[in-house]
Chains A and B, each alone.
Chain A
Amino acid sequence: MKVQIDAQLCQGHGRCYDLAPDLFGEDDEGYATLTALTADGIVPEGREGDIRLAAANCPESAVLVLEEALNDRR
């Protein structure tokens, strides 16, 4: 699974870094960022659920989840 923040859509609501503060962070203006754990958009194993929950709570739908069926169904 991969994750991205769509910077055009993100308005800094902060639901992602509220729900998963180790997987998402905030920049100096409150816009969402990825963190060391999600660098390059790679989701750590076992954290797929947290990523999906953050995405499902983003009011602007700015957390983009790219499912990779193979890795995901293990």
Chain B
Amino acid sequence: MTVDDRFTDSPFQKADPAELTRFEVMDGPVSDWATDFSHMDEQYAENAHEIWDDLRGRCPIAHTERFGGAWLPTRYEDVQAIAYDTEHFTSRAIIVGNYRPPLDLAPVGGVPPISSDPPFHHDARKLLLPAFTKANVAKQEVTTREFCHSLINAFEGRDLVDAATEYAMHIPIRVIADMLGFPTEDTPRFKVFVENALEGINRSPEEREASTEVLFTYLLEQVRDHIDNPRDDLTTYLINAELYGQKLAPQHVVGTMALLLIAGIDTTWSAIGASLWHLAKNPEDRKRLVEEPALRATAVEEFLRAYAPVTMARLVKEDVELGGVEMKKEDWVLLPFPAANRDPEKFERADEVVIDREVNRHAAFGLGIHRCAGSHLARMELRVALDVWLDRIPEFSLAEGAPMRWSTGQIRGPRMLPITIG
């Protein structure tokens, strides 16, 4: 037996400080959303829909000098054009921050395949797709349902719960821990990993790098444990996977594990939370879904359209004119799929939530080659989470006077969601 020595040293590579392009952190109040937007602002978290509608009417592509310069398209047409254009836009970095990673990180990127560009992207993605087909994720449905019931069992005797932190959050964390084969008792750490990766972007590069190193160290421990004790899960699969006739580079294995851990949690947590938030404040929709379980799958698509949690990002690869603006090489571009989903040019009654909307060509999971690889898993979790909640807790509403908070950054969803049961 040959020894797998790829993971003897940590695959975490500190970036050469000279190669990082750093920008001054600008976290003051936004003066004008069209010229100085910040997706890290609490106003953006709270009023994103109004801000996008306003910008769509007057820009429609907003700009900011923050983060070293970033664009924010708001029309479906522009978001789609950028998502499809891998010639002019690179995925080398997909979370906007105050520094840009070195150019030579492309085409693999730190967390393949979401951070990869063609043609490498296609091959790295192909490795992952079989695990995430609808048929394969259906195998997780029974345990997911049981887990949702166990969360609701824990509400016994209470009439006030936080649906964000006591329900929605735990579901994707448990599902991805099971798929990666990580110990259940480690799951409280995952929330911290996610916050560091996605919400801590205004911290210094050193701080961000330090938290990434903590994550990679954890993942490396898991890899080593799986090398010693192989099992039927995604971690063992990635350790053994081959690309171009060779085992994957250690950075690729651990980077993909980081992606699977981070990308599946905040996003699905947000979608479940936003759906429950909508139902808590719209009793007619809630009653209808309680009485008509057959309508729930359709309603889930509408919640995904109206409350799509994920905004992706790109860096401009070559200067390009798009939607009437001149984007320069290395500018950031946000891809707000939720704003595209509310474009009245594309959707009738775009600003309304119509739970029986039959034609719903929404882009919640992205468009083009980077379509969310976990979309079937996310849909399964969202459907099961709502199913179990509506069957067990048919009567609920937003707790009056209790604080509610939406997350800032590229993933938008409720982070505090106090709900009164009954």
| A residues at B contact (CB < 8 Å) | 11-14, 17-18, 26, 28-30, 53, 56-61
Contacts and interface: CB of A to CB of B under 8 A. Distances in A.
Contacts of B301: 57
Nearest to B337: A59
A13 to B, nearest CB: 6
Contact of A53 (B126, B133, B358, B371): B358
Interface string B130-145: 1011110000000000
A57 B375 contact: no
Given A28-B130, A29-B133, A30-B132, A11 B368 contact: yes
- Which of A13, A53, A57 has the most chain B CB within a 10 Å cutoff? A13
Contacts of A13: 365, 371, 375
A61 B363 CA distance: 12
29 contacts: A11-B367, A11-B371, A12-B129, A13-B371, A13-B375, A14-B134, A14-B375, A14-B376, A18-B134, A18-B297, A28-B129, A28-B133, A29-B130, A29-B133, A30-B129, A30-B132, A30-B133, A30-B134, A53-B359, A56-B359, A56-B361, A57-B360, A57-B361, A58-B361, A59-B361, A59-B362, A59-B363, A59-B371, A61-B361
Contacts of A11: 367-369, 371
A28 B128 CA distance: 11
A5 to B, nearest CB: 15
Interface of B: 126, 129-130, 132-135, 297, 301, 358-363, 365, 367-369, 371, 375-376, 379
Q: Is the interface of B mostly helix, strand, loop or mixed?
A: helix
B367 A60 contact: yes
B376 A30 contact: yes
B382 to A, nearest CB: 13
Contacts of B133: 26, 28-30
- Which of A14, A59, A60 has the most chain B CB within a 10 Å cutoff? A59
Q: Is the interface of A mostly helix, strand, loop or mixed?
A: loop
A39 B196 CA distance: 49
A26 B55 CA distance: 39
A34 B245 CA distance: 32
A61 B297 CA distance: 21
Given A14-B134, A26-B135, A29-B126, A57 B365 contact: no
Counting from the closest, the 4 A-B pairs by CB-CB distance are A29-B129, A11-B371, A30-B133, A56-B359
Contacts of B368: 11, 60
A30 B126 CA distance: 10
Nearest to A28: B130
Given A13-B375, A28-B129, 11 more contacts: A11-B368, A12-B129, A14-B375, A17-B134, A18-B134, A18-B379, A30-B376, A57-B361, A58-B361, A59-B361, A59-B367
